[in-house]
Structure 1
Amino acid sequence: MTGTLIDTRDTVYVAGRWIPATSGRWIDIVSPSTEQLVYRVQEAGRAEIDAAVTAARRVADSGTWASVPPAERAKALLRFADAVEARGAEIATAVTNEMGAPVNRPSEVDGAVGLTRYLASVAAGLPFEEHVPGVFRPSIVRRVPVGVVAAVVPWNAPLFLALQKVVPALLAGCPVLVKPAPETAYDSFVLADAFDAAGLAEGVVSVLPADREGSEYLVAHPGVDKISFTGSTATGQRVAGIAARDVKRVTLELGGKSAAVVLPDADLAAAMPALVTGTTINSGQACSLLSRVLVPRARHEEFMAGYTEALDAVVVGDPFDPATTMGPLVSRRQYERVLSYVRLGAEEGATAAYGGTRPDGPARGYYLRPTVFTGVDNGMRIAQEEIFGPVICVIAYDTVDEAVRIANDTPFGLSGAVFGPQEEAVAVASRVRAGSQTVNSAIDFDFAAPYGGFKSSGTGRELGGAEGILGFTEALTIGV
């Protein structure tokens, strides 16, 4: 367990060089497992943001990176993937210190490296130029870079979600400005080291840790052409409003209140491992969390007996302990927010059927056992609002049509799951208004499939191979 100040950084990575930060504002990063200060990072000031945008603007306007053949850009990103992989242990330790991800969870580094290598393999063969016969005249359709991209990254999967934006943008020929979340600002320095080691062209990448003021300055900067943002719906609305002033391109991957529909003929024993994963992943701090579980009324007691028994195997504790399967919440503010929803559930008349308390053992840290409410009406706030913690609503239904109606009765539409016989489950999943659905699984994304939300869960798509890369381009039509 780590609980003392490990490192302090007062430089930022701007256009391929480390330069002093001038903001005078420090981000104190507190370990959620010990409540002790572990890192101090100075924010990028307006001067550094201006310098980064100016350098990126120069790259975009001159076409120096866009003119590099796609296959060569792909090779550069493969070098970057190697550099990230070489720093894997360092990144993983930083992320565990910053936001409490257990060391034994599937490696975020492996996922980020795998994504980078996959997208590089796709980009090398993409048709960035197409000749269209046309109806009135032939045309050349070129996919040109959208320009300077601001990638605004959340804290809950900081490396993977950064590269989900940065890698396709770079492969499309865009320079990128990475804005990590304050809670996980430190691991972005290791990421910047990996970009440096890859030898990317000057001005192509900058990494700018900042809090709200710096983030808004970057998003509103006239030199930025596109914003790719992942975070809360409220902040996404703010980003979209700022972008609209200059008609900037924007991709938003926002909140969720995903439903897991357990069909009447589902094999409950077979479904439990995926349901436990889907309802406790990342201590509940995931936009795709299966936070509403819809269960046939006739099987409600059977389901709860199996589900609570399965939850008993979840080990909540020190994220550096290999036995831990669920770590703490990211911060005191988040911990108190989640506890307020636990209290709210009881006030709304739901029954706290499991958890809702600290685990036995750790005296410090923002730990909370998985919390399961039964007797939930879908109109309750705990069933409608994104909590971003391990608070699960089990909702009984009488017919499959009612289950679909409940699943869709939410302002969100990011993801979800259906458990039951495959053909029926696919049919039900097709009726749910959400961007990604899984059948008998809690893994809601694939590198090769587009990912994003309906309704208040966002706009645009990321991942998806070619679709994800081409999302950072504009179509330029030349009639010939």
Structure 2
Amino acid sequence: MPIATVNPATGETERTFEPLGSQEIEECLARAGATFEHFRTTPFAERAALLRRAADLLDEDTDDIARTITTEMGKPLAAARAEAGKCAKTMRWYAEHAEGLLADEHPDQGDVRDSGGARAFVRYRPLGVVLAVMPWNFPLWQVVRFAAPALMAGNVGLLKHASNVPQTALYLADLFRRAGYDEGCFQTLLVGSGAIEDILRDPRVAAATLTGSEGAGRSVAAIAGDEIKKTVLELGGSDPYLVLPSADVDAAARTAVTARVQNAGQSCIAAKRFIVHTQVYDAFLERFAAGMRELTVGDPKDEGTDVGPLSSEQGRDDLEELVDDAVRHGATAVCGGQRPKGLERGFYYEPTVLTGITPGMRIHREETFGPVATVYRVADLDEALAVANDTSFGLSSNVWTRDEAEQDRCVRDLQAGGVYFNGMTASHPAFPFGGVKRSGYGRELSGHGIKEFCNTTTVWHGA
């Protein structure tokens, strides 16, 4: 795949980039390794000041970087500005909290004496150079939620971003440089996927994190496993959205629209499978479909647009194939189900609601990365949980119920890294983020995330 900005609203290639050569990659690796040796010893106050400066600069740059994001991957301008704001917020959160999150931990003194020691503690030390392989769908956020905790822990980063967002990738490296970080603290590598293996196998690289497809995760995990290097993977999702009899159906339907079409549906944690109790099914479906029909699809640079194009022609075509397969096998398109008229130049697809889904349809098993929702009717909570867990993914989940017993049951039985009640899944720096099953392993954000790339060190002193 070429490294290029292809505007998904028009299909036009606006700018191309040459990938780094082997000598340039070597220079980046050498710079990162050398920088880590002194950056790891910097005090938290110094790291925090740098990260706060980066957040301030990002605030100043919001309008410009939002336009770049919109041009590169099609996100509406309002959403792109919100993404930049979330990144700045997360930088400031880690600048404030990292020192406390990584403070020395002191075991019970009785256990220390029982070990034969006079004192002992646990210290978190940075691992080193971390390779981040990141996707295009949230081109700032996916990177910052790795970079902010990693830098505050004393690590340094190498970014291999998606090949369709090169200008955003270069902006990130420049942002940290302008904030005062040494160049080796955070570097963007404009390289193709074929270069990842050699970089990850380099002894100067200590660990890797990847957000992306299941296939990409398998590849990176296999290489890192062979090298015995730590990885964190956040892969696909097919998140369930359960609506049970005690739900506020109006609120559930309104929120369902946003949960499905955020980022044109191109989000791992977007709700994708809507599993609705038969008692409220008809009311929910009517309101949900009406909300999807009311959305404005169009130019993402138009402030009135709700849903922009998909990021690529291939992504639009893959989504279209899933819908067409479902309809051929008996599904009903309550709304949408085709490319919108008048927007032939870009990679657009109508917000779509499908019913009558059966296990034999591809869409029942595969992740829908676009504004397409599947709606299931279920008889009771047991069936709802069975449908919800009938997937290879386990990233997050959403449940609408006021019944505390049902809430407890869902926390116990839903196979997911998160359970969100009476609202939609959303990431926040204070809460751990990640999944189970083929959605990956490890956690980002919160104290759990910052410790993923730390050496958890036991320090023991004899009596």
TM-score bracket for the superposition, by shorter chain length = over 0.9
Which letter does structure 2 place at the counterpart of 1:231? G
Deviation readout 1:216-257 (Å, 9 max, x if unpaired): 332333321110110011210111001001110000001011
- The correspondence for 1:407, drawn from 376, 382, 388, is 388
- The correspondence for 1:209, drawn from 177, 183, 190, is 190
CA contact 1:264–1:296 (8 Å) conserved in 2: yes
Task: Tell me the matched-pair count.
Answer: 453
Structure with greater helix share of residues:
2
Deviation readout 1:118-145 (Å, 9 max, x if unpaired): 1111013334433444231232322111
Whether 1:142 and 2:117 are equivalent positions in the alignment is no
CA contact 1:33–1:364 (8 Å) conserved in 2: yes
Work out the CA distance in 2 between the residues paired with 1:32 and 1:203: 33
- Hey, what does 1:54 align to over in structure 2? 30
What is the Cα deviation at residue 424 of structure 1?
4.7
Whether 1:124 and 2:99 are equivalent positions in the alignment is yes
- Hey, what does 1:448 align to over in structure 2? 430
Work out the CA distance in 1 between the residues paired with 2:46 and 2:56: 16
Q: Cα RMSD (Å) of the superposition?
A: 1.7
What is the Cα deviation at residue 381 of structure 1?
2.1
- Hey, what does 1:82 align to over in structure 2? 56
- Hey, what does 2:230 align to over in structure 1? 249
- Hey, what does 1:156 align to over in structure 2? 137
Work out the CA distance in 2 between the residues paired with 1:424 and 1:313: 35
What is the Cα deviation at residue 325 of structure 1?
0.5
CA contact 1:59–1:204 (8 Å) conserved in 2: yes
What is the Cα deviation at residue 428 of structure 1?
4.2
Which letter does structure 2 place at the counterpart of 1:190? Y
Q: Alignment partner of 1:240: what SS?
A: helix
Matches within 5 A, 1:160-171: 160-171=141-152
Unaligned stretches of 5+ in structure 1?
A: 1-24
CA contact 2:44–2:99 (8 Å) conserved in 1: yes
- The correspondence for 1:226, drawn from 207, 218, 229, is 207
What is the Cα deviation at residue 202 of structure 1?
4.2
TM-score using structure 1 length: 0.91
Pick which of 73-82 and 44-53 moved more. Answer: 44-53
CA contact 2:355–2:374 (8 Å) conserved in 1: yes
Matches within 5 A, 1:35-434: 35-60=11-36, 62=37, 64-105=38-79, 107-132=82-107, 133=109, 134=112, 135-136=114-115, 137=117, 138-378=119-359, 380-421=361-402, 423-424=404-405, 426-430=407-411, 431-434=413-416
What is the Cα deviation at residue 303 of structure 1?
2.0
Which letter does structure 2 place at the counterpart of 1:130? E
Work out the CA distance in 2 between the residues paired with 1:375 and 1:50: 54
Work out the CA distance in 2 between the residues paired with 1:325 and 1:39: 26
What is the Cα deviation at residue 98 of structure 1?
0.5
Which letter does structure 1 place at the counterpart of 2:288? Y
Q: Alignment partner of 2:135: what SS?
A: coil
Whether 1:32 and 2:8 are equivalent positions in the alignment is yes
Work out the CA distance in 2 between the residues paired with 1:428 and 1:360: 45
Q: Alignment partner of 1:124: what SS?
A: helix
CA contact 1:177–1:205 (8 Å) conserved in 2: yes
CA contact 2:84–2:140 (8 Å) conserved in 1: yes
Work out the CA distance in 2 between the residues paired with 1:295 and 1:127: 43
Identity across matched positions, percent = 36
What is the Cα deviation at residue 422 of structure 1?
5.8
Work out the CA distance in 2 between the residues paired with 1:71 and 1:426: 42
Deviation readout 1:299-318 (Å, 9 max, x if unpaired): 33222211111112211110
Deviation readout 1:9-60 (Å, 9 max, x if unpaired): xxxxxxxxxxxxxxxx952221000111122222222222221112212233
CA contact 2:132–2:209 (8 Å) conserved in 1: yes
- Hey, what does 2:418 align to over in structure 1? 436
For the structure 1 residues 120 and 77, does the alpha-carbon distance in structure 2 shift closer, same or farther, using more than 3 Å as the test?
A: same
Work out the CA distance in 2 between the residues paired with 1:29 and 1:216: 24
Which letter does structure 2 place at the counterpart of 1:257? S
CA contact 2:339–2:349 (8 Å) conserved in 1: yes
